[in-house]
Structures are given as structure tokens and as C-alpha cells.
Amino acid sequence: MDPFLKTVLFITAGVLAYLICALNPAIIMARLVYKEDIRTKGSGNPGFTNFKRVYGNKVAWFVFALDIGKTFLVILGGILFLTAVGWDRQLVASFIGFCSLLGHVFPVWYKFAGGKGFLVWAVSIFFCDWKAGLAALAMMALFLFTKRYMSLAVLVFCNSGTLAIIVFSAIAAVPYFWPVILIMIAGTALVTVRHKENIIRIKNGTESKFYFRSRKDQKKEEPVK
């Protein structure tokens, strides 16, 4: 294939990934189900964790599935299409994943005010290297169940996953090593910066802890005294 056309297709796929992942399930479901703007509730972040704290589990896990599902389909579609025209699979996974992250964090549909991007980037890490994703998931579970800070667990996942990708890719001597690594570092840095307020709250001891059963759901089951 002509190198110019090949490059145009690569960039076009990235733009489409950005536009699709700029659609935020938390914002959409809050408006459809509760007739509210999630960005005015709780921490103001239009993401799964804040949605769960504000509205409980009933719709939150659906938002979780939509966030993962949209990214999964976008990256998978990008890989199937771009590898068919000659692009490297891991390079495509990292690039489309990063474009998806930009769409979620800076969505054109919502005046560039989006979420923190963890779920999107987590899917990207798995597509880039599933072994790194599993290693990062194990580390995340360890911190989530011992410390109960979702934000801390998220950052552990992203950073350990990226480190694992660097190690595994170096051992395997994969093509496009440096472009892939630089993209993954950039994505993880962006997710980390988006969690800066959480980092400050953890340091100050004011960060809310995460439980799979939300406080709202627990209160509903408490007997009336």
C-alpha cells in the first residue's frame, strides 16, 4: 500500500477513536436515568467511581461496562483494520488506545471536560500486552483490597502495567519499541495528572475509600430505628 495512504488511514482511525470515546457513559446515563448532570454531583468527575458513590450500584456497573465496552470495540476495530493494511499490532493498540484516552479525558462533545480515563487506559494496556495487563491487575487488586483507595489502586495499575510493557517488550525485542513505550508513558502520565487531587487527598487522609457495595445501597438495607 502507498505509504501516504497508509499514514492517512492510521491518523483517520485515531481521530475516529477520539470521537467515539469522547462519548461519556456516566454523563449519558445520569441524564437519561436520573435527569441530572453527574458533573455537578459528588466529586464532579464523570466517571464510574463518582457515579457509583452518587447513585449506588443499580446503574453504575452498567456505566462501568459501557466505558470498557466502547474502548474494547474501538481498539479491536482499529487493530483489525490497521493491521490489515500493514501496521504493527502493538503500535496500533497503543496509538488507538491513547487517542481513545484523549477523547475520554478531553471530549469535544462536552466542552473538553471529561473523566480521568482509567478504564479506557486499562483496556489499552491489556490490548498492548495482556501479560502486562494481568500483572497490573494483580497489583491493583492487592492495593484496592488492602488500602481501599480506588484512586491509588488505579495509579498502581497504570504505572505497573506500563513498566511491565517496557520490560516484556524489551525482552521480546518488539518492533516499534520506542514509539510504543513513549505512547504508553504519555498515557499513564496523563491518567496520573488527572488524579492529582486524589493524590493530595490521600496524602491528607481525606480521600474516600472504595467498597463494592456502595454506601447508598448499604443505607437502603439498614433497618429503620
Sign of the Cα pseudo-torsion (202, 142, 64, 163, in order): positive
Provide the 10 A C-beta neighbour count for residue 16: 18
| Residue 223 included in any domain | no
Residue 16 structural domain: 3-211
Any residues with CB less than 8 A from the CB of 200 and at least 6 apart, and which?
Answer: none
Measured CA to CA, the distance from residue 60 to residue 205 in angstroms comes to 26
| Residue 144 included in any domain | yes
| Residue 220 included in any domain | no
| Residue 221 included in any domain | no
| Residue 115 included in any domain | yes
| Residue 184 included in any domain | yes
Q: How many domains does the chain have?
A: 1
- The pTM score is 0.89
- C-alpha cell belonging to residue 101: 484516552
If phi > 0 it is left, if psi is from -120 to 50 it is alpha, else beta; for residue 205 that is left
pLDDT in tens, the chain (225 residues): 789 999 999 999 999 999 999 999 999 999 999 999 999 998 888 988 889 889 988 899 999 999 999 999 999 999 999 999 999 999 999 999 999 999 999 999 999 999 999 999 999 999 999 999 999 999 999 999 998 898 999 999 999 999 999 999 999 999 999 999 999 999 999 999 999 999 999 999 898 887 776 555 544 444 433
| Residue 169 included in any domain | yes
| Residue 81 included in any domain | yes
Q: Which residue has the cell 490490548?
A: 127
